[in-house]
């Protein structure tokens, strides 16, 4: 599967040293096919990102932080800058989104080329980003999770989150499955130790508030 993914990733313009030279010797018909596989998924993904940004704009989300500038990294998980800049602690959770989207779409749509599954992954991630910024999810996050200061994402943060998920998807497509799973576990443990929150805890708390988890998280942020 790793070799097949390497070949398919080359269609997307992502080259690795192992990529066979047969692609360089493709005939005219194959070259046109490869061009379609390179260009069409990219354009669809770009269109999805543009629609995501437009949807968030129409929902009233700010383009950048109300502070007036954009930071590469926001390190305070409970501060007002989280979800307002390019990256923060929760960026790692979006990397995991990419991992799990790759495995899910591989299981359900294994007949599709990786380019098609990547397009579906971007659609799903962009859809979640829009849903995440609806009043219902924002309010639920504020009440049922540790994110009491969360008021939604800026557009630049939301787009960055989707691109991070794309990076996670491509990593999972390239790396051995066990390496991806071990990295995901390491990230979850690291986030739990660093900020007392991670993707698994976030899902649990969004679905159903668990008082002792919320108390444990609050105690960590109080220090």
- Residues of the chain with pLDDT > 90, as a percent, come to 66
DSSP H stretches of helix in the chain:
2-11, 28-58, 91-108, 114-132, 135-144, 155-174, 177-195, 199-207, 211-222
Which tens digits make up the pLDDT trace of 152-184? 999 999 999 999 999 999 999 999 999 999 999
CA geometry: angle at 199 spanning 100 and 186, to 5°?
75
Beta bridge partners of 195: none
CB atoms within 10 A of CB 51: 13
> Which is it for strands 87-88 and 73-74: parallel, antiparallel or unpaired?
parallel
**How large is the average pLDDT for residues 82-97?**
97
CA geometry: angle at 158 spanning 156 and 161, to 5°?
110
Domain parsing of the chain, residue ranges = 2-222
The model's confidence at residue 218, banded by pLDDT at 50, 70 and 90, is confident
Q: Which residue has the tokens 């910024």?
A: 133
Q: Which secondary structure element, helix H or strand E, spans residue 16, and what is its range?
A: none
**How large is the average pLDDT for residues 85-104?**
98
**How large is the average pLDDT for residues 134-145?**
85
Residue 13 pLDDT > 70, yes or no?
no
What's this model's pTM, rounded to 2 decimal places?
0.85
Structure tokens at 155: 């557009």
Residue 8 pLDDT > 70, yes or no?
no
């Amino acid at each position: 599967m790793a070799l097949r993914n390497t070949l398919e990733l080359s269609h997307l313009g992502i080259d690795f040293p192992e990529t066979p030279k047969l692609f360089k010797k493709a005939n005219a018909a194959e070259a046109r096919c490869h061009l379609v596989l390179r260009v069409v998924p990219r354009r669809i993904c770009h269109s999805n990102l543009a629609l995501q940004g437009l949807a968030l704009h129409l929902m009233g989300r700010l383009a950048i932080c109300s502070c007036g500038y954009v930071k590469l990294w926001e390190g305070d998980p409970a501060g007002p800058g989280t979800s307002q800049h390019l990256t923060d602690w929760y960026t790692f959770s979006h990397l995991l989104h990419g991992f799990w989207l790759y495995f899910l779409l591989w299981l359900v749509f294994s007949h599709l080329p990786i380019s098609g599954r990547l397009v579906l992954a971007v659609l799903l991630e962009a859809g979640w980003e829009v849903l995440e910024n609806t009043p219902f999810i924002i309010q639920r996050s504020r009440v049922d999770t540790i994110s009491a200061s969360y008021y939604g994402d800026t557009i630049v943060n939301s787009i960055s989150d989707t691109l991070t998920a794309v990076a996670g998807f491509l990593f999972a497509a390239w790396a051995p499955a066990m390496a991806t799973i071990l990295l995901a576990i390491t990230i979850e443990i690291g986030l739990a130790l660093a900020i007392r929150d991670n993707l698994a805890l976030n899902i649990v708390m969004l679905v159903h508030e668990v008082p002792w988890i919320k108390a444990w998280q609050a105690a960590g942020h109080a220090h």
